[in-house]
Amino acid sequence: MKLKTLFTQACAAVVLGAMAHAALADQLDDIKKAGKIRVAIAMGTPLFSFADANLQPAGSDVDTAKLLAQDLGVKLDIVSVTNAARVPTLQANRADVVVADLSITPERAQVIDFSVPYAVISIIVGAPKSMNIKTYDDLNGKRVGLTRATVNDTLTTQNAKGAQIVRYEDDATLITSMVTGQVDIFSSTPSNLGEMAKRAPEKNLELKFTQKDFDLGIALNKNQPRLKEWINEWVKTNLKNGKLNAIYKKYHGRDLPDSVTKAS
């Protein structure tokens, strides 16, 4: 009797597990049925995602999301988030995917899935020309501004242990803080450096050193095999036909590296 009960419970567990897996694996169908895909985008990031002169979303990530929705045959529903909220928004199911200059890192890959790389981002330290900064050691004792919960935050925290790190919730606030003189040194991206230099040319800001180059992936929740497969094939197809490279070059002024385009 006890053996029969255990067998019945085991069967029930298998059925429930299969049902749960099937439900998770059906997100692609759910998106198609809903007729829209919710894409989390970190607005306020120069070149990647920002409001244009008509206050409409623009940038390489925005155009990438538009192309994704178009090829999927659904409407694009942009979910505007801060950098720090990118992963939590996905985990809370407030978005189906994230296209928000999100670097592929081992730490993030433990809790979410990534597509194959669709673009790249460089992480840099910048400051006025008058400041002698060449390495992390030169940041000791200095205030360094950066955006919270980014690879910039991780890299600088790990390698500039003597720096006083000032964390901001998004890139737009970091840029404003640099322009208004709240901080003089930052860890961010070349695109943000360009925006700072445009808004405050008198500061003579320049790139001091490159911290690291990262591949960017489209993020989605784990246990979504069909959605992940579709997105991976979509990225590979649009890298091969040049559409993703054209989007990147339109905003960033350079081609995607061979490490991304040749991997497709």
- State the pLDDT at residue 28: 97
Residue 91: both structure tokens together: 């985990």
- The pLDDT tens digits of the residues spanning 29-66 come to 999 999 999 999 999 999 999 999 999 999 999 999 99
Domain spans, the chain:
31-121+215-254, 122-212
State mean pLDDT over 234-240: 98
DSSP state of 203: G
Q: Tell me the CA distances in angstroms from 95 to 29, 72, 231, one per residue in order.
A: 15, 16, 15
- State the pLDDT at residue 26: 76
If 0-12 CB within 10 Å is exposed, 13-18 middle and 19+ buried, where does residue 205 land?
buried
Strands 164-168 and 185-188: unpaired
- The pLDDT tens digits of the residues spanning 2-22 come to 444 444 444 444 443 444 344
- State the pLDDT at residue 260: 95
Residue 79: both structure tokens together: 């979910």
Picking from 40, 15, 36, 14, the residue whose alpha carbon sits closest to that of residue 27 is 36
Q: Of the ranges 15-19, 78-82, 105-109, 213-217, which one carries the lowest mean pLDDT score? A: 15-19
DSSP state of 256: P
Q: Of the ranges 8-12, 97-101, 129-133, 258-262, which one carries the lowest mean pLDDT score? A: 8-12
- State the pLDDT at residue 14: 40
- State the pLDDT at residue 3: 41
Query: Is 60 exceeded by the pLDDT of residue 127?
Result: yes
Segment (H or E) for 229: helix 225-240
* C-alpha span between 48 and 212 (Å, rounded): 18
* C-alpha span between 19 and 258 (Å, rounded): 41
pLDDT band at 263; cut points 50, 70, 90:
confident
- The pLDDT tens digits of the residues spanning 211-236 come to 999 999 999 999 999 999 999 999 99
Record the pTM.
0.85
Q: Check: CATH 3.40.190.10 for 122-212?
A: yes
DSSP string, 102-139: -B--HHHHTTSEE-S--EEEEEEEEEETTS---SGGGG
Does the CA dihedral 28-29-31-32 come out positive or negative?
Answer: positive
Q: Check: CATH 3.40.190.10 for 31-121+215-254?
A: yes
Can you list the alpha helix ranges (DSSP code H) found in 160-242? 171-179, 190-199, 225-240
Same fold, 31-121+215-254 and 122-212: yes
* Helix, strand, coil in percent for the chain, rounding step 5: 45, 25, 30
83 neighbors 61 (Cβ within 8 angstroms): no
pLDDT band at 264; cut points 50, 70, 90:
low
Query: Is 90 exceeded by the pLDDT of residue 87?
Result: yes
